Amino acid sequence: MSDYKKIYAKRNFLGVRETWMLGEDHLLLVKSNGYTENYRRFFFSDIQWIKTVPVRFSLVVMFLLITVFCILLGMTIYFYFQGDSAGATIFEIITGVWLAIFLLNYFIGRAGAVTIKTFSEKEILKVGTFRKALKLVRKLKPGILRVQGAAAESEILAKLAEREEAGTPEMII
């Protein structure tokens, strides 16, 4: 049995824990709900491509945060010009807290996901931020290159052209 190095772990709101562990020649996904554990292996030799994408939902959240902030700021200005100092003070506090939430969300960054495609299946791993997704791929890349070897640029372009002609363009590492 080979030694494993834990590279990512998360728990969802239902209590299911996903742990991604790096083996010598494969990636191991362990899903545990407290009673059972399911194991899936992704051998580096079987991985066709890895794609890292930012999640669009985080843009929706940012838009909603900005919209509510603008409404709160408008209410603060309204109460200020009406001469209602109590209402203006309350909305200043609420607007300040909302601004802090917005800035925290902004500096944490967009949410990200990593998609791993093998010959038989596709697994989408939603990591916290896009930076974490890039970091995860950087951890996987040396093992994949060790097993599959590096492809020349001309070889990649030839495969992409071949797939476009077939009507199935896919990303290649």
> What string of pLDDT tens digits covers the 173 residues of the chain?
468 888 888 887 778 888 888 888 888 888 898 889 989 888 888 888 888 888 778 788 888 989 999 999 999 999 989 988 888 899 899 999 999 988 888 888 888 888 888 877 777 777 777 888 888 888 888 888 888 777 666 776 777 777 777 665 455 44
- Do 43 and 122 fall within a single domain? yes
In a domain, 127, yes or no: yes
- Do 44 and 119 fall within a single domain? yes
How many domains are contained in the chain?
A: 2
- pTM score above 0.95: no
What's the CA angle centered on 108, arms 104 and 114, to 5 degrees?
A: 150
From residue 12, give the alpha-carbon distance in Å to each of 31, 36, 111, 112, 123.
11, 16, 15, 15, 16
In a domain, 172, yes or no: no
- Do 75 and 155 fall within a single domain? no
In a domain, 141, yes or no: yes
Which of 108, 123, 150 terminates a domain? The answer is 108
- Do 75 and 43 fall within a single domain? no
Q: Give the pLDDT confidence score for residue 173 in this predicted structure.
A: 45
DSSP string, 95-149: HHHHHHHHHHHHHH---EEEEEEESS-EEEEEESSHHHHHHHHHHHHHHHHHHH-
Which of 89, 108, 127 terminates a domain? The answer is 108
In a domain, 75, yes or no: yes
Q: Which domain holds residue 76?
A: 57-108
In a domain, 160, yes or no: yes
- Do 103 and 144 fall within a single domain? no
Q: Give the pLDDT confidence score for residue 170 in this predicted structure.
A: 52
In a domain, 121, yes or no: yes
In a domain, 173, yes or no: no
In a domain, 171, yes or no: no
